Structure 1
Amino acid sequence: MRTRIITGVLAGGAFIALLMVGGYAYAALIALMALIGYDEFIRMNKLGRTGAAALCGFAGLILFLLPAFDPGTGYLNTVTTERLVWFLVFALLAVTVLSKNRTTVDQAAYLFLGAVYLGIGYYYMIETRLSGEHGLFWTLFVFLAIWASDAGAYFTGSLIGKAKLWTLTKLWPAISPNKTVEGALGGAILSVLVALGFHLARPEWISLGRAAALGVVIAVIGTLGDLMQSAYKRVKGVKDSGNLLPGHGGILDRTDSWLIVFPFLHLIGLL
């Protein structure tokens, strides 16, 4: 626990500092996290990290992250995304042919999935921060609501369990045996409270109703993102995606909710 706390304080402090600075410093941090996360994804799937297919995957990931080098351009428009996705598929399938199936279609599919999943997810973390004069406000809003949901879920479940008020209801035991319905509700409540705090701080930027709705959506989608990663790791037979962060696992373990929440909010027009 001590190691976990020290790592959380140091890594969290550095992350918040660069988030506040913004610009290329924050974009570079997110890009680095994306590259490390993709490497973890490759290793979880027991794929080669230096072959032509992996290099295509890394290249695709980097292309998704171009806003880190040219902020505020709205790079991922529909036409550009279609071209990037198609050429990434083309490159990966070409590798299967040129390697005479030493790189299989299944392996190419994993690499494609990882590049799109991580590339778009981390892209929107950059896009949110670099999007105009209120970028810091909205980025902090989303991150703090996610963290509030995680903390609220953990402490609600722990307090009810220790007090033995009633038997906790498992949320999805086949995937994540420690998550409970009560914890999820506690997380959603705390997420909404944090969101309402942002409304009180800047009522001209976000209405009461929108803040409450965003708090609920972030809690629900964040929990789903966490479950997605848990389900994937369970299938792959691993506990953590990596060991970069002592006591916390890898980059993907810490950003599983972020990778789903940020693009979801943008793509359905909530941010």
Structure 2
Amino acid sequence: MKQRILTAVIAAAIFIPFVIYGKIPFILVTYLMATIALYELLKMGKQSIFSIQGVLSVLLLWVVLWPDKYIHAIERFGFEKLEYIFVITLLYLSYSVLTKNAFTFEKIGFHVISSLYVGMGFHYFIEVRSIGLTYVFYALLIIWATDSGAYFVGRALGKNKLWPEISPNKTVEGALGGIICALIVAILFSVFSNMDLSTIKLLVMAVLLSIFGQIGDLAESAYKRHFGVKDSGNILPGHGGILDRFDSLLFVLPLLYFFNQL
């Protein structure tokens, strides 16, 4: 527990100043975290990032991550973002031919989905930060409240398993407790924050973000169980890897961004 708390304090002390400052330093840190997360995911699937297919996955990740604000920088060569993604996909297929199908179609799918999953989640971390710092803290606090509520309510009242095939310790009561705690956070934000959103919209967002945050957590639990690993990595002692810490946010941040556009 002490190690877990110490790691959390040190990580927050390093990470939060970048979030607050934003701009290019925050984007670079996001690129770094996303690349580490991709490394962790590929490693779970027994794929090396230090290979031709791994390099292609990193390139795909970096293209997907590219901020909308600077989209003109990569489109100046006459290609749109989606066209770069298509070209990289063709390179995967070409490499499959060159390896005489040693790099199989299934492995191509794993690499592409891994890069898109990690890339899109962290891309919207950048985009949500561009909307405003308050939105980032709203997402973070919704996730933390959901996790804490699910843990404590689940331990105190949990009887009915939520999804035992994937995560045997999670309960329906815990999941509902997490949603209730997220609603409390939304109410506090409606009173004390400068978010230009109605209380009703904040409450609806809180419910959706809490639900999808828990789905994101279950999704990572599912592929960790599939690959037979306990944690995605060990870069954060007591917490696992980057992917372990951002699994919920990778689902929540795109949803928050889309919901804010309505």
TM-score (structure 2 length as normaliser): 0.91
Q: How many residues align?
A: 258
Q: Secondary structure at the match of 2:238?
A: coil
Q: Secondary structure at the match of 2:168?
A: strand
Separation in 1 of the partners of 2:182 and 2:261?
A: 16
Paired AA for residue 185 in structure 1? L
Deviation at 1:205, TM superposition (A): 0.8
Q: Which piece of structure 1 moves more, 248-257 or 86-95?
A: 86-95
| Match of residue 204 from structure 2 | 213
TM-score (structure 1 length as normaliser): 0.88
Separation in 2 of the partners of 1:210 and 1:239?
A: 37
Separation in 1 of the partners of 2:192 and 2:160?
A: 36
Separation in 2 of the partners of 1:48 and 1:228?
A: 22
Residue of structure 2 aligned with 1:158, choices 141, 155, 158: 155
Paired AA for residue 33 in structure 2? M
Paired AA for residue 149 in structure 1? T
| Match of residue 176 from structure 2 | 185
Separation in 2 of the partners of 1:270 and 1:237?
A: 39
Evaluate the alpha carbon distance shift between residue 203 and residue 5 of structure 1 in structure 2; reply closer, same or farther with a 3 A threshold. closer
Deviation at 1:49, TM superposition (A): 2.3
Separation in 2 of the partners of 1:127 and 1:187?
A: 26
Paired AA for residue 183 in structure 1? G
- Given that 1:222 and 1:258 are in contact with CA atoms closer than 8 Å, whether structure 2 keeps it comes out as yes
Is 1:200 aligned to residue 197 of structure 2? no
1:1-271 superposed matches below 5 A = 1-67=1-67, 72-73=69-70, 80-131=80-131, 135-160=132-157, 168-202=159-193, 205-267=196-258
Deviation at 1:81, TM superposition (A): 4.7
Deviation at 1:15, TM superposition (A): 2.0
Q: CA RMSD in A?
A: 2.1
Q: What fraction of aligned residue pairs are identical, expressed as a percent?
A: 39
Paired AA for residue 126 in structure 2? I
Deviation at 1:155, TM superposition (A): 1.5
Structure 1 residue ranges without an equivalent (≥5): 161-166
Paired AA for residue 51 in structure 2? G
Structure 2 residue ranges without an equivalent (≥5): none
Separation in 2 of the partners of 1:204 and 1:63?
A: 30
